[in-house]
């Protein structure tokens, strides 16, 4: 591609020369460069791409997009810009031919519920005969091809590349979980979105954003800046949770037309009546005055919210009501989201991704309303992440569990024992007794907790203790099939460990 074509839309501070020259490829990692590449030097969270310019040139890069004051000697051409990260998105869009223009692109934004909503919408769109692609926390997938997801939302270059592959492979609709990091780092600024869904906002990622207000502003930026600049037009571009205080702010402040959904408030999309059980949800739903009933294998009130969000988006896309119903009822579970592990022991075992205090509280509140006997919860907190939520998760867990087993999550480069101590700081020791796992009180309904740092041992202990009509919740990692110890990723899957423990129990 000609250099001039690649640079279209970029306001360069300083560049000159022949823009008819041919560029072979665009790179932002020096080791990917080859002869006549264009290298984008991005200041990252851990490393600065400007430190790797020499390596990029040694590998053949001829064009360098940079934001620091650097002089280059011919034949290398420097192109100075105000922000090289922002420039990467424009370069990627140009390089891959603006693939989002050829797709129906839907963003799902919020702290909780994003993954489930993408699965619901994927099922609805498939029922309607569309070819769906998904970019999310669990994986990236389209046309029976599945790829691991290193980030919930890919870097702008990878995002444009994957969208191009999807468009070329016949995908019609793409559902993208868009993270606050991706919005803040401008990974999605150069995509033309058809609509955006806002689920809710609760504490998470404060290690990155610092405050809840900063976290919210990152989410809100999608609806106030990214979505309005899309060149696509629909009657409504937003589907917003009106029961969430942050959602109401977006509804109030955004200039875009929107559909509001909720259960507690009067909305465009709402549940007039519903029943929740450990078998799922049955509900009578109201979509802008049109009434229909639906059954779902998903569990809990929060999943009813997810269903309403998916229906809001489907209605904007003019999906017939019968196909909405089919899509919802065709989806039996979502990986790692209150996913049931088959048990013949007379009790229920669920694995859930809840890794914030609000998510854990919501899951446990829903299970507490449905329990017959005890709730036994196994959970931990990730290392090198927001430390402030650890005591909050400890408090949430013991508030709704009869027995809580505090364990490790992904400790990363922190001491697991130190993480556990910070979780314990949120547990009121005067009200919740700390016991040893082999004490007789464990078999009773005592409101207590224990510590088992080894996650596999903790899961096995919970299942060994459980008896008929109990509920065992294994929280924090959900669909993940690894555990990060230090800098190493070790194979580990809560679902497989639980299944093995259930088999041994008989």
- Percent over 70 (pLDDT), the chain: 97
For residue 247, the 8-state DSSP code is H
Question: Domain extents for the chain?
Answer: 3-95, 99-330, 339-505
Which residue has tokens 């306001």?
A: 11
**389, 424 Cβ separation under 8 angstroms:** no
Mean predicted confidence (pLDDT) in 328-334: 95
**359, 111 Cβ separation under 8 angstroms:** yes
Mean predicted confidence (pLDDT) in 124-153: 95
Q: Is the pLDDT of residue 441 over 70?
A: no
Mean predicted confidence (pLDDT) in 373-378: 96
In the structure, what pLDDT confidence band is assigned to residue 182 with cuts at 50, 70 and 90?
very high
Mean predicted confidence (pLDDT) in 342-361: 94
Domain 99-330 indexed as CATH 3.40.1190.10: yes
Domain 339-505 indexed as CATH 3.60.10.10: no
Mean predicted confidence (pLDDT) in 38-50: 93
Predicted pLDDT of residue 290: 92
Q: Is the pLDDT of residue 249 over 90?
A: yes
pTM of the model: 0.91
pLDDT in tens, 94-123: 999 999 999 999 999 999 999 999 999 999
Question: Which of 61-75, 223-237, 269-283, 325-339 has the least mean pLDDT?
Answer: 223-237
Predicted pLDDT of residue 255: 84
- Strand bridging mode 280-287 / 269-277: antiparallel
Predicted pLDDT of residue 232: 84
Q: How far is CA 155 from CA 149, 160, 181, 182, 428, in A?
A: 11, 9, 10, 7, 42
pLDDT in tens, 443-501: 565 789 999 999 999 999 999 999 999 999 999 999 999 999 999 999 999 999 999 99
**Cβ atoms < 10 Å from Cβ of 60:** 14
In the structure, what pLDDT confidence band is assigned to residue 11 with cuts at 50, 70 and 90?
confident
Mean predicted confidence (pLDDT) in 362-389: 95
Predicted pLDDT of residue 432: 94
Rounded Cα–Cα distance for residues 341 and 321 (Å): 32
Q: What is the CATH number that goes with domain 3-95? A: 3.40.1390.10
Q: Is the pLDDT of residue 387 over 90?
A: yes
Predicted pLDDT of residue 177: 97
pLDDT in tens, 54-100: 999 999 999 999 999 999 998 999 999 999 999 999 999 999 999 99
CA dihedral sign, ordered 200, 201, 202, 207:
positive
Predicted pLDDT of residue 474: 98
Q: Any idea what the Cα angle at residue 95 is, between residues 90 and 100, rounded to 5°? A: 70
Mean predicted confidence (pLDDT) in 168-188: 96
**355, 475 Cβ separation under 8 angstroms:** yes
Predicted pLDDT of residue 16: 61
In the structure, what pLDDT confidence band is assigned to residue 14 with cuts at 50, 70 and 90?
confident
Q: Is the pLDDT of residue 23 over 80?
A: yes
Angle between helices 455-465 and 494-505 (to 10 degrees): 40
Complete DSSP assignment for 120-134:
HHHHHHHHTT--EEE
Alpha helices per DSSP H over 272-430:
301-316, 321-330, 357-368, 389-400, 416-424
Q: Any idea what the Cα angle at residue 353 is, between residues 458 and 309, rounded to 5°? A: 155
Residue 185 CA, distance from chain mean position: 16
Which residue has tokens 């954003």?
A: 209
Across the chain, mean pLDDT equals 94
Query: What 3-state class would DSSP assign to 58?
Result: helix
Q: Is the pLDDT of residue 430 over 80?
A: yes
Predicted pLDDT of residue 339: 95
Provide CB contacts within 8 A for 373, sequence distance 6+: 445, 467, 468, 469, 470, 471
Task: Pull the structure tokens for residue 139.
Answer: 């994986």
In the structure, what pLDDT confidence band is assigned to residue 209 with cuts at 50, 70 and 90?
confident
* Beta pairing partners, 377: 404, 473
**Cβ atoms < 10 Å from Cβ of 451:** 19
Provide CB contacts within 8 A for 44, sequence distance 6+: none
């Amino acid at each position: 591609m000609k250099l001039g074509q690649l640079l279209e839309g970029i306001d360069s501070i300083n560049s000159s020369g022949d823009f008819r020259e041919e560029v072979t490829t665009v790179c932002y990692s020096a080791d990917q460069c080859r002869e006549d590449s264009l290298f984008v030097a991005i200041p990252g969270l851990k490393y600065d791409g400007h430190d790797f310019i020499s390596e990029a040139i040694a590998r053949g890069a001829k064009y360098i997009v940079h934001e620091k004051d650097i002089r280059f000697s011919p034949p290398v051409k420097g192109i100075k810009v105000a922000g090289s990260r922002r420039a990467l998105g424009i370069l990627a869009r140009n390089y891959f031919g603006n693939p989002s223009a050829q797709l129906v692109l839907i963003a799902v934004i919020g702290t909780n519920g994003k993954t489930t909503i993408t699965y619901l919408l994927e099922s609805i769109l498939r029922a309607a005969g569309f070819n769906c692609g998904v970019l999310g926390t669990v994986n990236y997938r389209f046309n029976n091809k599945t790829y691991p997801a290193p980030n919930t939302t890919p870097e702008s270059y990878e995002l444009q590349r994957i969208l191009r592959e999807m468009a070329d492979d016949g995908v019609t609709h793409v559902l993208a979980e868009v993270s606050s990091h991706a919005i803040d780092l401008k990974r999605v600024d150069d995509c033309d979105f058809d609509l955006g869904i806002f689920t809710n906002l609760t504490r998470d990622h404060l290690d990155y954003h610092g405050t809840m207000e900063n976290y919210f502003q990152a989410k809100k930026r999608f609806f106030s800046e990214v979505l309005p600049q899309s060149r696509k037009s629909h009657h409504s571009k937003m589907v917003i949770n009106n029961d969430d205080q942050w959602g109401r702010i977006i509804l109030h402040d955004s200039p875009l037309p929107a559909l509001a959904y909720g259960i507690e408030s009067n909305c465009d999309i709402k549940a007039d009546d519903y029943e929740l059980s450990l078998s799922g949800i049955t509900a009578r739903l109201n979509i802008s005055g049109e009434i229909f009933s639906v059954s779902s294998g998903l569990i809990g009130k929060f999943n009813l919210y997810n269903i309403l969000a998916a229906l809001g988006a489907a209605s904007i896309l003019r999906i017939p009501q019968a196909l909405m119903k089919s899509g919802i009822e065709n989806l039996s579970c979502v990986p790692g989201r209150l996913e049931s592990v088959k048990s013949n022991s007379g009790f229920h075992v669920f694995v859930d991704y809840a890794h914030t205090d609000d998510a854990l509280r919501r899951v446990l509140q829903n299970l507490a309303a449905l329990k017959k006997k005890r709730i036994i919860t196994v959970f931990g907190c990730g290392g090198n992440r927001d430390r402030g939520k650890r005591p909050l998760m400890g408090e949430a867990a013991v508030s709704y569990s009869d027995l809580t087993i505090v364990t490790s999550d992904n400790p990363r480069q922190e001491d697991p024992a130190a993480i556990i101590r910070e979780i314990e700081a949120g547990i009121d020791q005067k009200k919740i007794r700390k016991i040893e796992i082999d004490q007789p009180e464990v078999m009773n309904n005592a409101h207590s907790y224990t510590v088992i740092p080894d996650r596999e041992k903790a899961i096995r202990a919970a299942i060994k203790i459980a008896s008929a009509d109990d509920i065992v919740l294994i929280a924090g990692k959900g669909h993940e099939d690894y555990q990060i110890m230090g800098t190493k990723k070790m194979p580990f899957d809560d679902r497989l460990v639980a299944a093995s423990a259930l088999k041994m129990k008989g």
